[in-house]
Structure 1
Amino acid sequence: MTTAFGRRPAFMALAATALSTPALAQRARFPDRPMELIVGFAAGGGTDVTARTFARFLEKELGGSVVVNNRPGASGEIGLAYVARARPDGHVLGITNMPGLVTLPIERRTPQFNLNDFEYIANLVADPSAFSVPAASPIKDFADLVARARQAPETITFGSTGVGTDEHLALVLFQAAANVKLVHVPFPGAGPMRTAILGNQVEVGGLNVGEVAASPQGVRMLVQGGAVRSSFAPDVPTFKDAGFDVTMSSERGIVVAKGTPADVVARLREATAKVANDPAFKEQCRIQFTDMDYLEGPAWRDRLEEANGRFRQMWQRQPWSEG
């Protein structure tokens, strides 16, 4: 209905405005309560440290509180499953750890989540996998580890943060490349694993480069899984330096539950991009010996899909659930 001048009556315009106001107000209020950032590992590891740093900067961008909540277990699956099942409104975020984000649904008969259960905000950082030993270990260097593993198969213990995690898959790839077999011992996080290394409960541990470089007391890094040597540990060879075609890193990014409204996802992506480009955040990552690897949601999802194909082929050739 229009007037003679072709305009809506005033009451209709007011009604339309009233109908649109709640939606606009709802968008403006996000977040309207404290947010959770879920970490699928025990406190003290690299993923946990990245999460706590990111949370502080995200609070500044969004103007609300972000509480880090550790839900360790099952190589990170418990935490990611919690995020996948959360109310899809953007108030429950998860920090992922690749390759576990991709590999857990591959290796488990009844996975609690899959790649389609999330909206992808952005990847933040990458931290190469590394093999470390107690500082006083009789294992002198990586070549010595290889020699000992060949001389005495299935006697050297290797700690990881769980089946399908980056350090466990680095072990699997190394064992295949070197034709050796170590005894895999999983832990709920890097903190408990470091304690086990320091206590000589395991002979070798799969701590990441940043985890060792940030706290080198009592441990000695033998080799790392980056494509090139790390500026944080320039004297530590890569697997490729030692003649083994192995690369592996922990990639850490942010997700929310599938079905989160598009405007909330966009708000989170915008805020995360600002955090990732904040010089103060970059400096904190440098101080924590972690390389920036920012990649926005859609491009990150594409990279994960490519990794999914590679790991599925690897699983068909060499299932890693037992090794």
Structure 2
Amino acid sequence: MHHLRTLAATAATAAIVAIAAPAAAQDYPTKDIRLVVPWGAGGGTDGIARKVSAIAEKELGQTVYVENVEGGMSANGIMNVMAARPDGYTIGVLTYDSVITVPYQQLLPGYELDKLQMIGRLTNESDAIIVADDAPYQTIDDLIAAAKEAPGDVKVAIQNTGSRTHLAMLELEKLAGIDLDLIPYPGGAGPQKEAMLSGEVVIAVTSLGDFANLLDEGDARGLVEFSDAPNPTYSDVPDAKSAGLDLRSGSFIIVAAPARTPDDVVARLAEAYQQALEGEEFQEWVSKVGVTPGWLGPQEVTDWVAEQQEAVFAQFDKLKADGVIAQ
């Protein structure tokens, strides 16, 4: 009899848990959500993540607070998200380095993107060729013509060797049949800007948003953006498609949660971030910072990341084989 009572109690408990579990997930969120930004406060990724999250939290009904966890080309912060409890209360943002550089170079043991559940892509920030205002080039065709006249003499400030901006310029060299003097400036857009302001170079490759202050003050101009449509802020800069250039390059911001986060929690977060991204408040704000919103939902962005990795890893493998970058 006692055994039967125990079985009955166990069955009753299981039934309560089965009923309560979905209800708890439907109530999500019931407390603050931590958003890990794997770059320093005050940067472009940080600013965009904070703005869109501040709008999303109104839809979620709970505060989304940002924690900046720097280091390891974003790996430190992302590892933090990978190791978090998969309950929707710790999420993080990924950028190009998180998806491409760190996995390809295997910079951190245990860093595997399958430890994450993608929620959605927020932005797609294309790279561009930017020149000093007094540079002799008015169009990308002018620059290509100058490089053909003086092979190896036209200096271009890229970021790290093997970086996205480096790959883009190698692709341009191949497409246009030119040879540029590619000068690496590790550390992102800051050192590139300093090099342009000091006159070391008159050409740099990064996003228009990264050079916003120089563009807005008239110290620099965009020659071409490696995108399919005009930039919402700098619509006077030709996009690659309209310039007849088959070259696309850029960074992005993706929101992700730890793997095994419940599907309905992921859907709730995706809905909140999509609404925030596409709403009037964010659209008006982002139109002034040179970044293009580009929402992709959980499954779409998961597939998109796999495609990006496949394409760029193949590029890296070829560059290694050709001796352009170190093994």
TM over 0.5: yes
Q: Give the structure 1 partner of residue 35 of structure 2.
A: 36
Rounded to whole Å, the distance in 2 between the matches of 1:58 and 1:66 is 8
Q: Which moved more, 1:17-26 or 1:310-319?
A: 17-26
Q: Give the structure 2 partner of residue 294 of structure 1.
A: 295
What are the within-5 Å matches in structure 2 for residues 140-289 of structure 1? 141-150=139-148, 151=150, 153=152, 156-160=155-159, 162=160, 166-178=164-176, 179-191=178-190, 193-200=192-199, 202-212=201-211, 216-217=216-217, 218-230=219-231, 232-239=233-240, 244-289=245-290
What is the one-letter code of the residue matched to 1:281?
F
Pair 49,200 (structure 1): closer, same or farther in 2 beyond 3 Å: farther
Rounded to whole Å, the distance in 1 between the matches of 2:161 and 2:26 is 40
Contact 2:119 2:297 in 1 (8 A): yes
1:296 is displaced (CA, Å) by 0.6
Contact 1:159 1:202 in 2 (8 A): no
Rounded to whole Å, the distance in 1 between the matches of 2:317 and 2:139 is 32
1:37 is displaced (CA, Å) by 3.4
Q: Which moved more, 1:279-288 or 1:194-203?
A: 194-203
Contact 1:149 1:182 in 2 (8 A): no
1:262 is displaced (CA, Å) by 3.2
1:164 is displaced (CA, Å) by 5.7
1:122 is displaced (CA, Å) by 0.8
Rounded to whole Å, the distance in 2 between the matches of 1:108 and 1:21 is 44
Q: Give the structure 2 partner of residue 50 of structure 1.
A: 48
Q: Give the structure 2 partner of residue 312 of structure 1.
A: 313
What is the identity percentage for the equivalent residue pairs of Structure 1 and Structure 2? 26
Pair 136,121 (structure 1): closer, same or farther in 2 beyond 3 Å: same
Q: Give the structure 1 partner of residue 123 of structure 2.
A: 125
Equivalent residue pairs, number: 312
What is the one-letter code of the residue matched to 1:251?
F
1:108 to 98, 105, 110: 105
Q: Deviation string for 1:204-233 (max 9, x for gaps)?
A: 332313444575223221221012444543
What is the one-letter code of the residue matched to 2:43?
G
The answer to whether structure 1 residue 61 and structure 2 residue 62 are counterparts is no
Contact 1:90 1:265 in 2 (8 A): yes
1:119 is displaced (CA, Å) by 0.5
Contact 2:196 2:202 in 1 (8 A): yes
Rounded to whole Å, the distance in 1 between the matches of 2:72 and 2:185 is 9
Secondary structure of the 2:287 match is: helix
> Could you state the TM-score of these two structures normalised by the residue count of structure 2?
0.76
Pair 142,36 (structure 1): closer, same or farther in 2 beyond 3 Å: same
Q: Deviation string for 1:291-320 (max 9, x for gaps)?
A: 231111111111222222222332333347
Q: Tell me how large the CA RMSD over aligned residues is.
A: 3.7
Unaligned runs of 5+ in 2: 2-7
